[in-house]
Structure 1
Amino acid sequence: MSLIKTDDQIEAMARAGRLLAACHREIAKRIAPGVTTLEIDAWVEAFLKRHDATPEQKGYMGYPYATCASVNEVICHGMPANDPLEKGDIVTIDMVVNLDGWLADSAWTYGVGPLSPVARSLMKTTHDALQAGIRKAIPGNRVGHISHTIQTLAEKKGFSVVRQFIGHGIGRRIHEEPPVPHFGPPNSGKILKAGMVITIEPMLTTGSWQAVIDKDSWTARTRDGSLSAQYEHTVAITSNGPRILTDQNS
């Protein structure tokens, strides 16, 4: 499939993105001590079904759930579980929505009750890094302008950027070209062109950026047990600047 999407195709992805954003707004009301990520997962699947959409990652390469749920030191691809969330936890809920064959992808980190100052700072910096990266998603820039901006902001605040997992193009498939790292030199990667649609999804940690994978072959956690947060949007490159297709405020 072409890297360049038509206006109609981007609008179809925007419809999926609006549904995904609405789902995240509802999740924010449900995250609380005592709730399990398995309960959140079941709610998400039912929500999407009510809106004639499907969770794209369910069944993808054998993944069994509608969402990924990554708690505390889990970086990404955590499996929903029956363990109740506790005060002070942070949990990232990541999902890909398929609406009429077009996809949108977004992850969000939620705090469970009162958080430590370190956890709050990590979450704020990760979200700030996402927003800074999005501002570089304009025609004529390279992917590396996004990457370098995110890494510079994160490391200036004392956090590390995970290297093993990166953003990507998206459309009718979850992973399309181009790859979108969150680290590296500014003049690297593909030149961004109007019509491209990508995910920007920085994962930051309070310690080492290195990850280890659990025996389930999915769950990625920090090697040193440090906290990790992630925020992700699906973004269209347009001649008028970046268009966030999964904006929760739209």
Structure 2
Amino acid sequence: MIELKSAAEIERMRTTGQFVAQMLAEVGERAQVGVNLLYLELHVRERIRERGAESCYWDYAPSFGRGPFRNVICLSVNDAVLHGLPHDYTLRDGDVLTADLAVGIDGWVADAARTVIVGTAAAEDVRLVRATEEALAAGIEVARPGNRLGDVSAAIEAVATAHGYSVNREFGGHGLGRTMHEDPHVSNAGRAGRGMTLRAGMTLALEPWFAATTDRIVFDPDGWTIRSADGSRTAHSEHTIAITDDGPSVLTRLPQHAASA
């Protein structure tokens, strides 16, 4: 069941989205050589407490996880791309770090992710990160009333294909609003003109993620951290958007970043 949100409810989600965006910006600024992942986790944990927000991750226990998640942010390094457990790891020059954050404020949720390169950036890693950002922008652009869900998936996949990356279909985007995961599932690959018709008031998290040389994944023994099956580098970009009669509205973008995806 899909709950259409009113304009007022979308603005409440935007308030949450602005906080999520600010947290990801702060993590990106602090992700320097020599910084421990646990420091980044504790920073976000404290900021959530100060804001009076609620982590969507704490005690999250889906079927694929091993026990409840007991962190407030996912931090995934290099070949890890999704659900990375913050742990005692010190960032090194050239590491690729993905931060993924979902919180609720006053009952409304927003979810976003950003990949940054620590220190010296290898050209192939820059290209991978930019491909996910371009794919996210392409998916957002077609998220308009009257288009189909498959149009969003196809737009994301087309960017991946153009860059030479294959797309995993097991994990993708999703609806959200009062909770972190709502209908519908938004695949990062699909056929244009297929799927449900998009309507004003739908709120979606679009999240293209690619690995450099595979679309297959493996899980760490922790049951959470998802890695590329061949150990290749990964990247992940995500925004929460609202579909409106005036077009897509990005709820997890800071005002100064309005020109970028």
What TM-score do you get using the length of structure 1 for normalisation? 0.97
1:83 aligns with 89
C-alpha contact (below 8 Å) 1:170/1:177 kept by paired residues: yes
Quick one: percent identity of the two aligned structures? 38
What is the aligned partner in structure 2 of residue 169 from structure 1?
175
- CA drift of 1:220 comes to 0.7
Partner of 1:110: 116
State the 1:162 CA deviation. Answer: 2.2
TM-score, with normalisation over the residues of structure 2?
0.93
Residues 169-196 of structure 1: per-residue CA shift (max 9 Å, x gap) = 0011111011100101112222110000
Alpha-carbon distance between aligned partners in 1 of 2:76 and 2:170, rounded to the nearest angstrom: 16
Structure 1 position 64 matched with structure 2 position 62: no
Spell out structure 1 runs of 4+ moving beyond 6 A: none
1:80-122 CA deviation, whole Å, 9 max, x = no partner? 0111010111010001011011100001001100111100100
Residues 163 and 210 in structure 1, CA contact (< 8 A), matched pair in contact too:
no
- Report the Cα offset of residue 2 of structure 1: 4.3
Does 1:132 pair with 2:159? Answer: no
Q: Report the secondary structure of 2:104's partner residue.
A: strand
Q: Is 1:14 aligned to 2:20, yes or no?
A: no
Q: Aligned pair 1:193/2:199, yes or no?
A: yes
In structure 2, stretches of 5+ residues that fail to align are 62-67
1:41 aligned residue:
41
Decide whether the 8 Å contact of 1:203 with 1:231 is kept in 2. yes
Range 196-205 or range 185-194, more displaced: 185-194
Deviation at 1:59, TM superposition (A): 1.0
Partner of 1:123: 129
Match of 2:147 in 1: 141
In 2: Cα distance, 1:71 partner to 1:100 partner: 31
In structure 2, what is the Cα distance between the partners aligned to 1:176 and 1:133? 18
Summarize deviations over 1:155-174 as a string: whole Å, max 9, x none: 11111222211100001111
Residue of 86, 104, 107 corresponding to 1:101: 107
More deviation, 177-186/193-202: 177-186
1:152 is matched with 158
> In the alignment, residue 25 of structure 2 is paired with which amino acid?
R
CA distance in 2, matches of 1:84, 1:188: 45
Cα RMSD between the aligned structures?
Answer: 1.1
* 60, 74, 81: which one aligns with 2:80: 74
Unpaired runs of 5+ residues, structure 1, are none
SS of 1:92's equivalent? strand
Report if aligned partners of 2:24, 2:101 keep a CA contact under 8 Å in 1.
Answer: no
Write out per-residue CA displacement over residues 221-241 of structure 1, whole angstroms, 9 at most, x where no aligned residue: 011111110000000000000
How far apart are the structure 2 equivalents of 1:190 and 1:65? 34
Find the residue that maps to 1:242 and give its secondary structure. strand
Most deviating of 67-76 and 21-30: 21-30
Cα deviation digits, residues 44-87 of structure 1 (max 9, x gap): 01011111112111111111100011111012001001110101
Whether 1:230 aligns to 2:249 is no
Q: Structure 1 residues 231-240 or 157-166, which shifts more? A: 157-166
The partner residue of 2:253 within 243, 247, 250 is: 247
How far is the alpha carbon of 1:218 from its aligned partner? 0.8
Corresponding pairs, count = 250
Q: Is this contact kept in 1: 2:2–2:182, CA < 8 A?
A: no
